[in-house]
Amino acid sequence: MDIKGFIPQLSIDCVIFGYKNKELKVLVSKLSLPKELFSLPGGFISQDEDIDQAALRILKERTSLKDIYLEQFKVFGAAGRKNNAILDFIEEYKEPVLLGEMELDYDWFFKRFVTIGYYALVDINKVKPQKTILDDHVDWYPIDDLPPFFMDHTQIVEDALVELRRNLDDKLIGFNLLPETFTMRELQELYEAVYDKPFARNNFQKRMLSLGVLERLEKKFTGAANKAPYLYRFIS
């Protein structure tokens, strides 16, 4: 990675949400450093790249997905926002520090950074997490069992979750977390995982159907034809 082509002191950090087994999950990178540091998937912006393009590139590197629901949600720019955890470590460490195979460029990397937070919603079944040169590995973590992040990444996840909750109804974006077809119960479970609270079944179904964005398909094959639930699909 040649850092010379990037805008200095500006980065992107992505909160990639997935959903599986009734749990909301976040994609987390363990950085490729001789110390255990956890980070959100992030990166920098080329001089000749739109910021949204840069975010899509960073997401594609980690998920292999092209069509991702992606939203810029907040900029984090505290005055003291530096890679202190890495800096501290470097002072202890005696050898040149490699990030992946790249020797860290101190002058560039350890200035104060302003970071643009994006969140993304992906169908977890379609994602095979990919590590880049920056990552030791990349894994899904449940939202209520995240590792201790470095810098302000815990705050970034919390703010992304607030924004996801705010937008789930307004912008009908939850469907990006589900497979193409789903039962009403599965949709309700997703809402319960995101908002971390139960919904009353009848009200939930009524509200969702009233939005006019669900197409009812055939019944789901379960073997027990009578009680089989209907499948739905999102129509935009």
Closest separation in Å from C-beta 39 to a second copy? 21
For position 165 contacting a second copy by CB under 8 A, the verdict is: no
Q: Does position 84 bind a second copy by CB under 8 A?
A: no
Asked if residue 8 binds a second copy (CB under 8 A), the reply is yes
Residues 176-235 that bind a second copy (CB under 8 A): none
Ramachandran quadrant class, 228 (left: phi over 0; alpha: psi -120 to 50; beta: rest): beta
Taking the least distance from each CB to a second copy, the nearer of 112 and 185 is 112
CB 129 within 8 A of CB 62: yes
Largest Cα–Cα distance of the chain, in whole Å? Answer: 69
Give the whole-angstrom CA distance, residue 125 versus residue 102: 32
Pick the piece of the chain touching a second copy (CB under 8 A) from 74-82, 137-145, 201-209, 215-223: 74-82
Rounded to 5°, the CA angle 82-29-5 comes to 55
d(CA 112, CA 96): 21
Q: How far is CA 171 from the centre of its chain?
A: 18
Contact residue for a second copy among 5, 22, 64, 77 (CB under 8 A):
77
> Does position 114 bind a second copy by CB under 8 A?
yes
Q: Which residues bind a second copy (CB under 8 A)?
A: 7-10, 45, 47-53, 72, 74-75, 77-79, 112, 114, 116, 166, 170
